[in-house]
Structure 1
């Protein structure tokens, strides 16, 4: 009897690290549930993954919308008969002097970076606890552990995401659920003022580098959990 393919939910899946990870997991026979705001990009990614061999689910919506999150998780668990991995990858950033931020900026960043991580993690716990296994991985940033001028809003949101994930790890270890946090340095994504692939990013991490690092965490034996992984390009001081 063939083994059931592992099931992973990836938020922020339409571009960057999330897209690279989705393609990598598809190559390794994962059943995927893809979450993002962009319908066109998600549809294109879904078609590319279907060509690899599995037809993924995809859901277009806001990770801070509890009803949307619960629907996506319930549909995934029902369709694929379980959830093995949740990758909290969706992220957003606004930078500049603190007095330049609006309340709308604050809500947007915290909704995506913190509330989204909370809602998806909360939503998968019942399924994972029933199975007595599962793995929640949050993609944070090295600024969850340091700060920089112009980053008071973004850094504070990543500190909050880090603290939530750290506490969750302690809470669910007894249930057989792994929780990991990945802290990345500079990655060549569309998150920066320059476009992805810009020559100024040539020595940075690629999205594929990050996907490989996340897959390494996912691919550990059942008794091994990598609590934290810090990843930097050699060119970046930390």
Structure 2
């Protein structure tokens, strides 16, 4: 399936997986809406994407801001007439003993990993239902299916995101809307405290993740990949 002239709204688009996905889709002719906190880096991605001749909108702020979610969706509809894909990619992790988490840390992480997914899905569902089509892709983690020592906060947020996605999938299938979840294993991102750790050479790259996400997005209209789990070969699961 070609992404030429398709419209894609991506959160967490200023770096990592979101940035790579945005540039790969732009190279294939997709028009983009990009959401991130950092205005400067977001503009850099916008400029790079526009070199492919596509139109790019940017929205700066927290995905936990309902006004931002509504504004992004409204501007996409005003500019492009529709949203073909919503990719909820924004997310981050906090790790360590549970007694070390503050209440604010809990709230901040759930705001990004769970509330942000909810708000952007909620905002996009109206236009997608009206169109009778649309595809929501939520980027989770393999820890939505398992847990690990020191990951109580992060794992629970990803379990919540996954449960929300699964229930939403059943809710909107009758409206012609697809909901997919992509679960990643170890990815060479800023999550790792040591950017030069030797084991990261064996991990997934942003390019690997972008390819997997675009595979999910690129299926025919009557096909939905509900879940896609991706791991580096070196990782036990």
Tell me the TM-score normalized by structure 2. Answer: 0.97
Structure 1 Cα separation of the partners of residues 21 and 198 of structure 2 = 23
Structure 2 Cα separation of the partners of residues 54 and 34 of structure 1 = 13
Structure 2 Cα separation of the partners of residues 55 and 189 of structure 1 = 27
How far apart are 1:75 and its partner, in Å? Answer: 0.7
Structure 1 unaligned blocks of 5 or more: none
- List aligned pairs for 1:48-59, cutoff 5 A: 48-59=48-59
Find runs of 4+ consecutive structure 1 residues off by over 3 angstroms.
none
Deviations 1:166-217 (A, max 9, x none): 000000000000000001000011122122x653300000000000000000
Structure 2 Cα separation of the partners of residues 69 and 57 of structure 1 = 13
2:130 corresponds to: 130
Instruction: Give the secondary structure class of the aligned counterpart of 2:123.
Output: helix
1:26 corresponds to: 26
Structure 2 unaligned blocks of 5 or more: none
Structure 2 Cα separation of the partners of residues 133 and 19 of structure 1 = 25
CA contact (8 A) 2:33 2:56 kept: yes
- List aligned pairs for 1:100-139, cutoff 5 A: 100-139=100-139
Q: Is 1:173 equivalent to 2:173 in the alignment?
A: yes
How far apart are 1:54 and its partner, in Å? Answer: 1.1
Deviations 1:88-115 (A, max 9, x none): 0000111000000000100011000000
How far apart are 1:11 and its partner, in Å? Answer: 0.2
1:188 corresponds to: 188
Instruction: Give the secondary structure class of the aligned counterpart of 1:9.
Output: strand
Structure 2 Cα separation of the partners of residues 188 and 52 of structure 1 = 26
Structure 2 Cα separation of the partners of residues 17 and 93 of structure 1 = 15
Farther-moved stretch of structure 1 (94-103 vs 184-193):
184-193
Structure 1 Cα separation of the partners of residues 28 and 200 of structure 2 = 28
- List aligned pairs for 1:212-227, cutoff 5 A: 212-227=211-226
Farther-moved stretch of structure 1 (30-39 vs 70-79):
70-79
